[in-house]
Amino acid sequence: MRRRTYLRGVASAIAVGTAGCMGMDDAPEPSTPTAGNGAGPTETAGPQTVVVETVVEGLEVPWGAAYRDETLHVTERPGRVVRVSGGVETVADFTESTKTGGEGGLLGLAFHPDNPDTAFTYQTYDSDGGRRNRIVRHDVADGWSREVVLDGIPGASIHDGGRLFVHDESLFATTGDASRSDDAQDPQLLNGKVLRLTFDGNPHPDNPFGNAVFTYGHRNPEGLAARNGTLYAIEHGPDSDDEINRLEPGANYGWPDVTGPSDAEEFTDPVTTYEEIIAPGGGAFYDGPIERWQGDLFVGTLAGTHLRRVRLRNGAATEDEPLYAGEFGRLRTTFVGPEGHLHVTTSNRDGRGSPESGDDRILQFRPA
């Protein structure tokens, strides 16, 4: 009911920061994406008031988000790349080659940090051997022409991973176990891993196993974020123990042998876990104008239907709280715009949510 009230344009005020330390694809027909400027709920963050605004609405399961020359581009899971600048324009359509259903589709998006005419996407597709995932490099200036740079990542109706992230002059990608949990423990296989590539699409020469694998033992990581040179992965657990992991090259994060922390020396413990499933999506560190949030990790949650704020200090979560619980439905990808404002995508049309008029949206959080 709280979310339905918001989507009809009635603003509410919620105080936060004072409690404690803090059928897959039966979505409705797509509506026409439009730019939005309506303000939603407000909250207080210390002495500042935070306003939530709709940047754009009418998207169909937005997944990856990245900026090219300060212009936002977003993937929609059925197979489109859209540009958001005043309005919404489809700049590339790969729906015919994209396999949807379940959790696959056109997922991650990243641009080359030094060449904005080069983009990368993570795509689920059908092959003679079944569902697969691949990483594709695009020449944006040539109509988003395509070159597959890493193929054959196992896929399934669930656990396809899909996040792309540029860090430390490398392209990182998350892969799910594709419903083959034991594969996550084999560093010679590509599923259930975090991968590291050069921008030419080759395995990074400093990788620990002589292939594209950077870390292993993952179930279904859908988020990557970096702070002070350290890379973190955000991962779905089974029926408990969603995780935030600090990544170290060659480290084994335990799946399927363990979830959460363990006493086994061969496994690397997570920074924090969530016993009650929240289904975390993408994450982003914030350094914007809201002082209380500076330096914190923000994670969209799907099952949790809230925005998670996590303060990480000295390898531990010192504050951890849900914000806007139930206000917007399922939240997937968080990112920070050129002006420093936090953004989040909703994912209510992914077959598991309850879409309202206007879904899916991109929301912006800024000081009043």
Identify which of 221, 225, 215, 281 has the alpha carbon closest to the alpha carbon of residue 247: 215
Alpha helices in 179-328 (DSSP H): none
Cβ-in-10-Å burial (0-12, 13-18, 19+) of 52 comes to buried
Each residue's pLDDT tens digit, 252-294: 999 999 999 999 999 999 999 999 999 999 999 999 999 999 9
Residues catalogued as catalytic: 159
Taking the C-alpha atoms of residue 40 and residue 139, their distance in angstroms, rounded to an integer, is: 38
Q: CB-hemisphere CA count at 13 Å for 121? A: 31
What does 156-197 look like in DSSP terms, one character per residue? -SS-----EEEETTEEEEEE--TT-GGGGG-TTSSSSEEEEE
Q: What is the mean pLDDT of residues 221-233?
A: 97
Question: What's the mean pLDDT when you consider all of the chain?
Answer: 90
pTM of the entire predicted model: 0.90
Each residue's pLDDT tens digit, 8-57: 332 333 333 333 333 333 333 444 565 665 556 656 556 789 999 999 99
Contact between 38 and 53 under an 8 Å Cβ cutoff? The reply is: yes
Domains in the chain, ordered, with CATH?
1-59+278-368 (no CATH), 61-224 (2.120.10.30)
Each residue's pLDDT tens digit, 147-172: 999 999 999 999 999 999 999 999 99
Taking the C-alpha atoms of residue 330 and residue 333, their distance in angstroms, rounded to an integer, is: 10
